[in-house]
Structure 1
Amino acid sequence: MQATVSSARQLWHEHDGGSDISVGLLASHVWLALGWHDIRQRYRRSVLGPFWFTLSTLIMVAVLGILYSTLLGQEITTYLPYLGIGLVVWQYLSACVNEGSTAFIGSAYLIKQIRMPLTVHVSRIVWRNFVILLHSLPVVVVFMFIFGHVPGPEFLLVVPGLVLLLLNGVWIGVVLGTLCARYRDVLPIVGNLIQIVFFFTPIMWTKDLLKDRAWVAELNPFHHMIDIVRGPIIGSTVAPESWLWSVGILVVGFLAAQYLMQRCRNRVPYWV
């Protein structure tokens, strides 16, 4: 037992750029604890705690669902779950992008004092936002039951969809966190781009409305990452292309993250 603990500590301190991501992901006891700490601090001395986010999601989905179903001429019983899941997943993805961009800058005090895998700081952000995602998704499922929709067997596909979301959040944070630490101008660029991408992503509108311009959504990776979670919940068929896109993005993203860690891992403490 002591030998195992000793080897784990040695691996923790002797990691390098090539092993930073793997060692950081395996250190789940660290980023799980840090993520829960962040959530507790955010809602400290609050009666509802993180359920305030769930309540705000409930209100936002109800208001926007009624408004846009009228403007777009959509049936509210089908449109509201579609909109709700899209918004909840988008909030998770945009949080991973925006907060991941400052993952290393915001953790500079830890990076300069404690030698730990940089991936731990990213995993901490991804985990706390994933917990918030899991708090909010049941709200939409409740709406579905209210409107008489009962999820079918395809609902089980939401599990691999959530796993892909979780892992994609990690490489996004590693890549953007490294780039923003080195080039601070990237941070406001990312913030502005993510606002623009929102309007080009089928969240408040459906891809069918684009007709012969549906390629705008099909070339949007955020659309596919949302669809692999939204489709199984609302009972619609998820296109195989969405699964291929999500897996392909995951592979390419981690290759890019691994490359940046090998090249820049030891320079990040000097950049922040």
Structure 2
Amino acid sequence: MSAQLFSQFAKSIRKPEFWAYSSWLDIVTRYRRSRLGLFWLLAPVAMFMLVTGPIYARIFHRDLPSYMVHLGMGYAVWRLMVMVLTDSVTALRSNKSFILDGNTQLTDYTLKSIAKSVFYFVSSMLGMLVVLFWSSAVPPVAILSLFVTVPIVLLNLLWLGYSLSILGARLPDLSHLINTILMVGFLFTPIIWEGSRYPADSLGGQIVRLNPAYHMLEIVREPLFGRMPEASTLLYVLALTVLGWLLALFLCRRYSRYVPIWI
């Protein structure tokens, strides 16, 4: 039964017309009538950086180019995670008719949530590339690290999105809880501020390092500056990945068959 989840993902990946093409079509249709069109995919991250970056760079006495990398990459990855979480938790309930029809895999909706969020993330990265090449703190070769670190984040979002979709089908209030946690989580995640302000051996540092989002951001941002993430971050992400997929396997084996009844 442990192979059931992976076989479902494999079947879903072989049919991208449902989760990839339909997600892109939804995005294109949404912005078709606007004058700026798909530019709106890039606008949120660009506006956040242009408005917030110069202000907080002066508050924190930071060099603007390097701080813009910290801020922009942090917000882009945070936005990716938030979009996957908020979409996944309602994915199965909002596609009730397709699921009851029996022609789709539950993993199709996880991949659809991931695909939609990745389209937005890639669009954000088009603007971030300008910042990355502009900042002297980022060695050009370090940009290639994104091809390793971003897939690690996506690997974790896969199990998290699937698990939340199953739990969200059973617990309708979970979506409200997730939205509340994410609103508060933005303040406790080093997106605007920097986690390095709190040493690992301090109480504040220990609290910060309990936050999974902190480690996800660090594993993406630190290599861009030519630095290795802390050993604790590497171990945290490894443990989170292994335990997370074990949770997803358990939920698939134990509860996936009840989804049509729950929704």
**Common fold, TM-score beyond 0.5?**
yes
- More off after superposition, 136-145 vs 16-25: 16-25
Q: How does 1:193-272 map to 2 (within 5 A)?
A: 193-211=181-199, 212=202, 213-272=204-263
1:70 — aligned with what? 58
Deviation at 1:133, TM superposition (A): 0.7
Distance 2:135 2:141 in 1: 19
Of 159, 174, 180 in structure 2, the residue corresponding to residue 171 of structure 1 is 159
Deviation at 1:22, TM superposition (A): 4.0
1:3 — aligned with what? none
Identity of matched residues, %: 27
Of 81, 104, 119 in structure 2, the residue corresponding to residue 93 of structure 1 is 81
Deviation at 1:164, TM superposition (A): 1.3
2:117 — aligned with what? 129
CA deviations 1:143-164 (Å, max 9, x no partner) are: 2333444534333222121111
Distance 2:100 2:169 in 1: 14
CA deviations 1:95-135 (Å, max 9, x no partner) are: 11111111111111211224211010110110111121111
SS in 2 for 1:110: helix
Deviation at 1:193, TM superposition (A): 0.9
Number of aligned positions between the proteins: 258
Q: Does 1:57 align with 2:48?
A: no
Runs of at least 5 residues in structure 2 that lack an aligned partner in the other structure = none
Distance 2:117 2:240 in 1: 20
Please tell me the residue identity of whatever aligns with 2:61: G
Deviation at 1:29, TM superposition (A): 4.3
Confirm or deny: 8 A CA contact 1:104 1:118 kept in the other structure.
yes
Distance 1:50 1:239 in 2: 37
SS in 2 for 1:237: coil
Runs of at least 5 residues in structure 1 that lack an aligned partner in the other structure = 1-14
Distance 2:174 2:82 in 1: 15
TM-score under structure 2 normalisation?
A: 0.88
Distance 1:120 1:261 in 2: 14
Check 1:64–1:18 CA distance in 2 against 1; reply closer, same or farther (3 A cut).
closer
Distance 2:62 2:28 in 1: 39
Please tell me the residue identity of whatever aligns with 1:201: T
SS in 1 for 2:228: coil
Distance 2:229 2:140 in 1: 14
Confirm or deny: 8 A CA contact 1:96 1:125 kept in the other structure.
yes
Confirm or deny: 8 A CA contact 1:81 1:143 kept in the other structure.
yes
Distance 1:160 1:244 in 2: 16
